[in-house]
Amino acid sequence: MTLQFSLASASPETVETACVVVGVYEGGVLTSAAARIDSAAEGAIKRQVESGDITGKGGSAAVLFAPAGVTARRVLVVGLGQQKAFDAARFQRVHADAARALGRLPVDSAVSYLSEIDVPGRDATWRLRTAVLATDHASYRYTATFKPREKSAQPELASMAFAGNADAQAGLDQGVAIAEGVRFARELANLPPNICNPAYIASQAQAFAAEHADTVSCRVLDHEEMEKLGFGSLLAVGRGSTNRPKLVALEYAGGAEGDKPYAFVGKGITFDSGGISLKPGAGMEEMKFDMGGAAGVLGGFVAAVKLGVKLNLVCVVPAAENMPDGDSYRPSDVLTSLSGLTIEVLNTDAEGRLILCDALTWTVQTYQPQAIVDAATLTGACVIALGKHATGLMSKHDDLAAELLAAGEATLDRAWRLPLWDDYQTQLESGFADVANIGGKSAGAITAGCFLSRFTEGQRWAHLDIAGTAWDEGRKGLATGRPVPLLAQWLLDRSEK
């Protein structure tokens, strides 16, 4: 069920809804909306603050049922933490906290006044967009048909309104569009690999193009076409699987005819066993998320179309499955990439860069884009370096890196720049080919970026390593939908300029 969002202009004490949401800081400091509720309810909130039932601590929530003097059936009071420490990240968290609390209540609609809370350096558009994204993300439930949910006996949250005037409509609209892209990415990445294989990714791209045929078109190259063109690196990775590789290209005509497009390229390894360099069995089930880069750029593309950005965009996804088989590629094989560069395979589990290098070459040759951003769950080394919070960003173009970092800060989908110095290139030297596909134990994330840089010479290009940010770990861990917000904001910024 997709949550519906809208704006509300009524006063918190008079709005008709199943639940109204307000906030209280630590120390009993009420927001203006909470103060109005408290006044109408003759001190109902302050009494609970004094009794200790409402603490105002971050992550806390309390419910007042049918308080006298208030039209709403319930009042959800969310803790905001310390007022002096309230910032953009806390604003995002309290909306997620509120969404989770609402999910535990028998309500089908709610009106939140948390969107009115002032955040230093952020305007109403940012507040509404962030409120929508945080609420939608926290409300997401995985509901694939092979795990049907029993119909709940109680109402479930279906619509959410945020306090805001007409000036906030742009933020709401942006939030709804980006949230749709995030959901698209999460649904795709959460599917099991026996469903979400290269052909399935292609079918989903084609279906989206058909729904938006006025501005979107889709091309799909199969393995036979790629073989004729010389995709030697990409095809080698998929050789061991009965699920043949695909190259998917979505095109969006939102800008002027003839304008060079922006380009996304996303790693689409729908399952990564490691190939002949087999991964350990423990945790291998998470390797269905190795197409998180593909899901992320496709979600970013969806968001861009829904936003109606005024620019041209292409989204290219090399999709393959990395499996061990009698026909699998091997360590010590030498591959000839689409660019003509030869690659010595030292580890078949460093396959993402091998499908990306051909996809990047084809994207440059086909579209001559004005900028390329690739996204990939590329290296465990990036997870070790940055953990689960920051995406690794690499680029030789300071201006492009700055644009992407700013987009990440604006959406709280943050990235951190790692060096891409030529000093690291020596680690990729090979005695048998132009380049080796791994650079040794040290600086693994950076040498992976250096490998890709050899196929983007002369291009305005950036690489996002999302190995740590694309999904949450554990048996019930879900895809996050990152870096859709960052990519969408980057395009919005380019469109506005």
Active site residue 279: yes
The continuous run of DSSP H or E covering 464 comes out as: strand 461-465
Residue 298: C-alpha distances to residues 185, 460, 485 (Å):
7, 20, 12
d(CA 447, CA 336): 20
Q: Among 318, 264, 308, 320, which residue's Cα sits nearest to residue 484?
A: 264
Residues 331-345: b if buried by 16+ CB within 10 A, e if exposed? eebebbbbbebbbbb
Dist CA 15 CA 13 (whole Å): 6
Q: From the candidates 353, 414, 482, 494, which is the catalytic residue?
A: 353
d(CA 474, CA 384): 17
Catalytic residue among 73, 100, 279, 460: 279
Closest CA relative to residue 463, chosen from 402, 394, 377: 394
Q: Which two tokens stand for residue 204?
A: 């989903």
The beta-strand segments (E) located in 222-361 are 246-253, 262-266, 268-272, 312-322, 334-336, 342-344
Q: Which H or E run contains 5?
A: strand 4-8
Instruction: Provide the CA 280 distance to its chain's centre, in angstroms.
Output: 27
**Catalytic positions:** 279, 353
